[in-house]
């Protein structure tokens, strides 16, 4: 990588490459018209400040190593999209960008859905393919590994366990993983609101179930009457969804110790940005869960980070893999929250790259905020494919390329690129042959991964789940106290202000409304300090 402006005569990688079979550089006798187009495209990527090197311009079948395609480091908090059909090289693009960010001191978060990103921690293996690619694109390739931490949702799989409390996860995200409809989502929001007000900590799923059960009981129903109430039918749906969710083994993802997302912002001792890899192969059959958990991580960062404005480099770049899963079946409130989070998190120094197959997988309001685009090949085998292709072409600036033809003709490790320049304007569209990652292009051995996880200083902090005294225990204590109340206060139960006997309601209702019960809830509220404050996405946590 070079932070200086490349010149037409010197590849950004440092050494002049030999002419490759894929095509010649502009100075090797190419057509004058082609030279003019390539030169114009290259000029759009000749940035003054630090930048990441993506590859070299492709034009009419030729790879022009003197025409480098780059992304300004300062523009990486303006978000981006990496898209393309399966097998076109999206994962290697993530790896290429991640390792260059880390080398320049920027922490990176990667979701490893298929289990092949762990290689970023180990030096790559030289070979004929790597050597040929490096020569074609003007890359001075050398093997290099990058400091990495590995995580696993709920500790399922190999990684430091990542958990969230139900309280901090919030009603919108919980409704998404439980697959609730809009009405049920709103009712769940009411349940969270009640728990927040009463200081009832929802740490795990049994806490949430206990609160729902209480609010639909004869004793609990009056608690929500003033704000709309909770129907028995809706509560039943929520309880059944929770039961099914737990039966599928998903209860492990909720509880304590809750993961502190500021861990993603760390820089290694040598100044490299830490690469945080969330290992997801063990839960890849639960797409709604892991995609929603990714959104929680992002929303939690948004909730806790201070405003910093435009920095010369991001504090973190977050790659959101399989992004289409997040948007599938999402409610309007959910989509609005995603849009607002993505829009506002830029000012907190976080860049977000969505990774999916086509731009149409991303809602228009979100897509409009993704200024950096790396579009790998698309296939047009069916009418639906052709429709997606045409829609993708319309999302690019006017180009000298025939983009429909170009996008269907790209090879593996090639992409159409446009990014934001240092002035914030879109760069010319550039068909690009991408550089080879310097780290291992594949998974590290399982034993090495396990050793890295166990050797992390974070492992002892998050490895063992903790079951604290929370809503479930407190409501159970209150119910036990109510059951004992007749033996403790039999005379008071029959007295009424106006006489006439029996005017005080049931014994259980009296206990729920009694000073003892209210004192119990007050004590929880005192422990939390105040009613929980929720962010735009409904997530919540105490300030660190």
What is the structure's pLDDT at 521?
46
What is the structure's pLDDT at 1?
41
Summarize pLDDT for 192-223 with one digit per residue, the tens: 999 998 889 999 999 999 999 999 888 888 88
- Point out which residues pair with 71 in neighbouring strands: 52
CB 416 within 8 A of CB 383: no
Q: What is the token pair recorded at 113?
A: 């859905």
What is the structure's pLDDT at 520?
47
CB 276 within 8 A of CB 107: yes
Weakly modelled stretches of the chain, pLDDT under 50: 1-30, 488, 493-512, 514-516, 519-530, 543-544
What is the structure's pLDDT at 74?
95
State the distance between the two ends of the chain, measured CA to CA, in whole angstroms.
Answer: 36
What is the structure's pLDDT at 6?
38
Summarize pLDDT for 285-314 with one digit per residue, the tens: 888 888 899 999 999 998 889 999 889 999
Q: Rounded distance, CA 293 to CA 282, Å? A: 14
CA 190 to the chain's CA centroid: 26
Sign of CA dihedral 279, 285, 289, 294: positive
Summarize pLDDT for 442-488 with one digit per residue, the tens: 999 999 999 999 999 999 999 999 999 999 999 988 888 877 766 54
What is the structure's pLDDT at 32?
65
Residues 6 or more apart in contact with residue 342 via CB below 8 angstroms? 79, 352, 366, 369
- Point out which residues pair with 149 in neighbouring strands: 276
Q: Rounded distance, CA 296 to CA 287, Å? A: 14
């Amino acid at each position: 990588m070079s932070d200086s402006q490349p010149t037409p005569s010197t590849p950004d990688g440092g050494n002049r490459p030999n002419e490759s079979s894929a095509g010649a550089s502009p100075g090797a006798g190419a057509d004058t018209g082609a030279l003019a187009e390539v030169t114009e495209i290259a000029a759009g990527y000749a940035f003054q400040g630090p930048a990441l090197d993506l590859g070299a311009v492709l034009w009419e079948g030729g790879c022009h190593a003197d025409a480098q395609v780059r992304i300004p480091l300062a523009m990486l908090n303006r978000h981006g999209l990496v898209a393309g059909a399966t097998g076109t090289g999206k994962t290697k693009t993530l790896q290429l960008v991640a390792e260059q960010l880390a080398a320049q001191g920027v922490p990176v978060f990667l979701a490893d859905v298929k289990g092949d990103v762990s290689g970023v921690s180990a030096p790559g293996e030289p070979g004929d393919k790597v050597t040929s690619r490096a020569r074609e694109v003007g890359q001075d390739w050398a093997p290099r590994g990058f400091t990495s931490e590995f995580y696993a949702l709920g500790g399922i799989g190999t990684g430091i366990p990542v958990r969230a409390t139900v309280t901090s996860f919030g009603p919108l995200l919980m409704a998404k993983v439980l697959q609730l409809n809009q009405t049920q989502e709103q009712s769940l929001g009411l349940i969270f609101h009640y728990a927040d007000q009463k200081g009832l900590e929802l740490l795990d799923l049994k806490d949430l179930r206990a609160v729902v059960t209480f609010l639909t009981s004869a004793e609990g129903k009056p608690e929500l009457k003033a704000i709309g109430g909770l129907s028995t039918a809706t509560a039943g749906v929520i309880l059944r969804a929770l039961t099914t969710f737990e039966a599928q083994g998903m209860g492990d993802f909720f509880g304590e110790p809750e993961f502190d997302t500021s861990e993603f912002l760390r820089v290694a001792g040598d100044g490299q940005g830490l690469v945080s890899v969330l290992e997801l192969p063990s839960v890849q059959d639960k797409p709604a869960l892991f995609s929603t958990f990714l959104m929680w991580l992002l929303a939690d960062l948004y909730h806790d980070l201070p405003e910093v404005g435009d920095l010369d480099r991001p504090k973190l770049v977050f790659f959101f893999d399989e992004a289409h899963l997040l948007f599938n079946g999402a409610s309007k409130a959910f989509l609005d929250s995603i849009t607002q989070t993505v829009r506002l998190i830029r000012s907190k120094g976080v860049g977000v790259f969505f990774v999916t197959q086509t731009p149409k997988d991303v809602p228009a309001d979100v897509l409009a905020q993704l200024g950096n685009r790396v579009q790998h090949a698309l296939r047009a085998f069916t009418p639906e494919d052709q429709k997606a292709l045409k829609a993708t072409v319309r999302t690019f600036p006017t180009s000298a390329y025939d983009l429909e033809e170009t996008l269907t003709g790209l090879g593996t490790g090639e992409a159409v690129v446009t990014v934001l320049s240092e002035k914030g304007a879109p760069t010319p569209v550039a068909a690009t042959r991408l550089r080879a990652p310097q780290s291992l292009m594949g998974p590290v051995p399982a034993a090495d991964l396990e050793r890295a996880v166990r050797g992390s200083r974070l492992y002892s902090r998050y490895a063992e789940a903790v079951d604290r005294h929370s809503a479930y225990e407190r409501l159970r204590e209150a119910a036990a106290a109510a059951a004992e109340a007749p033996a403790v206060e039999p005379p008071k139960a029959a007295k009424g202000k106006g006489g006439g006997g029996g005017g005080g309601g049931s014994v259980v209702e009296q206990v729920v409304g009694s000073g003892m019960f209210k004192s119990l809830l007050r004590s929880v509220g005192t422990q939390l300090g105040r009613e929980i404050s929720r962010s735009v996405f409904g997530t919540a946590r105490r300030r660190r």
